[in-house]
Structure 1
Amino acid sequence: MKRWHAIGIATALAVVGASTGVVSAETDKSIESIEQYREALRDGNPAELFEAQGEELWKTPAGPKNVSLEGCDLGLGAGVVQGAYAHLPRFFKDTGKVQDVESRVLTCMSTLQGIDVKPLIDAKFNTPEKDRLEAIATYVSGQSKGVKVEVSLVHPEERKAFELGKRMFYYQGGPHDFSCSTCHGQEGVRIRLQELPNIPTHKGAAAGWTSWPAYRVSAGQMWGMQWRLADCFRQQRFPEPIYGSDVTVALSMYMAATANGATMDTPGIKR
């Protein structure tokens, strides 16, 4: 009886192993198909339309002061956009804060154009107010396409932001006791057959950082990193973070600095 029992177990394991292999093969084919789909769309990436819109918004005088954002200092000097995104987030002396592209653009809107940015911060995503910011972020990021990520951790505030982002990445909470690392802290995790990047690794951080802002095909929307992070908070059942808040910038700092040396490939395209 024991012999036949052992044979039965061995047979069952063989069947399970074979079926697992089939599932794995099918999953690999699905991932390959998704990548082929993305590649097919790259030549006509709708993000390019948002990039063009962002450039127009950047160069058009606006606000009470009726000036453009062309004098905005993104960290490489006033008016320098080329390559600036690849160095963000970074510490800015004039604000005394580490800022990403979205929070820095808000600063420039306020100081250069005289715009009250609170309504922009408070506006919901997928509204005209937020769409303007997404377009500008897309334009700025596109000016770093092909540039190596080089985020500084020299200033004490930059190191502090990195450590805060790292702690937030592993912080568990909410009704499901989730953290960012639940989905993005190990190899081989998938959702809807799509691989999730393992952010604490250089390869994973590069995959997660260098392709945003990105056009979401399934939603027909352009998402910057602030929107991407807000959606992660939503899926964790956390309260929605304040747009451009210290914690969202810190999470970006953690990803960007971990991705140092990778090549920017924005604007991207996602499912």
Structure 2
Amino acid sequence: MNYRMLSQGLAGACLVLGTLGAGSAQADATTDEIARYREMIADGNPSELFALQGEELWKQKRGPRNASLEQCDLGLGPGVVKGASARLPRYFKDTGRVQDLETRLMTCMETLQGIDPKTIINAAWGKGEREKMQAIVAYVVTESHGEKIDIDMKPPQMKKMYELGKMTFYYRGGPMDFSCATCHGDKDKRIRLQDLPDLRTQAGAAAGWGSWPAYRVSNGQFWTMQHRLNDCFRQQRFPEPIYGSDVTIALSVYMAATGNGGTVMTPGIKR
């Protein structure tokens, strides 16, 4: 299957659908059509290509230490990938930090391979080591598809990060006086024909957190959760957070913990 042609075709279809007349009935029909397109390509999610690349990178010997990531401990023991992302973010005793998937992978890349985290933090989206990170993330989250979100909130460090994430979720600021809750703090809200989950609720958080990272049909790119959150800050007209910063980890803890018990649907497909 030519995924590039497919993504372009689907993007065009979504654009055409978006030009249908105004009115709630037409909008509902358009949303249904977009949902059908997602179902149509669900068995051939283009994220599979990124995941395959990520699996190769996971096993490839790289960096100054010429080592693979096969002994990386994502929380379930060295080398265990199956189900790991469904239990992230989590508190890691070896770093003394709460880490999400990407920051934990940066720790493994530094300690096992000798790759400086700055090569990822300072890179642009889709470039260099950050591009490789996106592929590795695609591989890891694919190994948790269908698992239940299971965030361990017993450590006090997790509770602290949850409260920071909740505070950030409701914090209003910037030239638009927006917060995360502006878009994701009500039921049945929609923007550009995209349903916005209410992240205050278990069902909404499970749907939102459980479907990212995802392949974006509109631009043919795979977006990690870090990328998704950074883009939310951009849309609020806030400065872009530093890659792997505590504020993005805290927001992840808030969403993941709120969605506890939901089903992991990653990698998802978004318009």
Q: How far 1:129 moved relative to its partner?
A: 2.4
Question: Structure 2 CA distance, aligned partners of 1:27 and 1:56?
Answer: 42
Q: With the length of structure 2 as denominator, give the TM-score of the two structures.
A: 0.91
Q: What does 1:1-271 correspond to in 2, within 5 Å?
A: 23-271=23-271
TM-score after normalising by structure 1: 0.91
SS of the equivalent of 2:207 reads helix
Larger Rg over CA atoms: 1
Q: What code does the residue aligned with 1:134 have?
A: Q
Q: Which letter does structure 1 place at the counterpart of 2:74?
A: L
Q: What's the offset of the Cα at 1:126?
A: 2.2
Could you report, residue by residue, the CA deviation over 1:192-222 in whole angstroms, capped at 9, with x for unpaired residues? 1111010011111011111111011111110
Q: Distance in 2 between matches of 1:130 and 1:113?
A: 15
Question: Which amino acid is 1:169 matched to?
Answer: F
Taking the aligned partners of 1:130 and 1:33, their CA distance within structure 2 comes to 34
> SS at 2:49's partner residue?
helix
Secondary structure at the aligned position of 1:43 is classed as helix
- Name the CA distance, whole Å, in 2 between partners of 1:90 and 1:246: 13
Aligned-partner Cα distance in 2 for 1:143–1:217 = 22
**CA offsets per residue over residues 11-62 of structure 1, 9 Å max, x none?**
xxxxxxxxxxx82221211111111111111122110000000111001111
Give me the CA root mean square deviation: 0.9
Which runs of 4 or more aligned residues in structure 1 lie more than 3 Å from their structure 2 counterparts after TM superposition? none
**What letter corresponds to residue 57 of structure 1 in structure 2?**
L
Q: Distance in 2 between matches of 1:44 and 1:83?
A: 21
C-alpha distance in structure 2 between counterparts of 1:191 and 1:122, whole Å: 31
Alignment coverage as a number of residue pairs: 250
Question: Percent of pairs identical after alignment?
Answer: 62
CA distance in 2 between partners of 1:102 and 1:260 (Å) = 20
CA distance in 2, matches of 1:213, 1:137: 8
1:185 partner letter: G
- Partners of 2:227 and 2:194 lie apart in 1 by 20
CA apart distance, 1:78: 0.8
2: CA distance, partners of 1:103 / 1:27: 39
Counterpart residue identity of residue 260, structure 2: N
How big is each residue's C-alpha offset from its partner over 1:168-192, in whole Å with a ceiling of 9 and x where there is no partner?
0000000000000000110121111
Which whole-Å CA distance do the structure 2 matches of 1:42 and 1:63 have between them? 35
Give the counterpart letter for 2:85 in structure 1. Y
Q: Secondary structure at the match of 1:132?
A: helix
Query: CA–CA distance in 2 between the matches of 1:119 and 1:45?
Result: 29
- Distance of 2:192 and 2:37 partners within structure 1: 15
Cα distance between partner residues in 2 of 1:129 and 1:235: 25
In structure 1, runs of 5+ residues without a counterpart are 1-21
Whole-angstrom distance in 2 between the partners of 1:25 and 1:156? 48
Matches of 2:213 and 2:128, distance apart in 1: 17
Instruction: Kindly provide the amino acid, as one letter, of the partner of residue 55 in structure 2.
Output: E
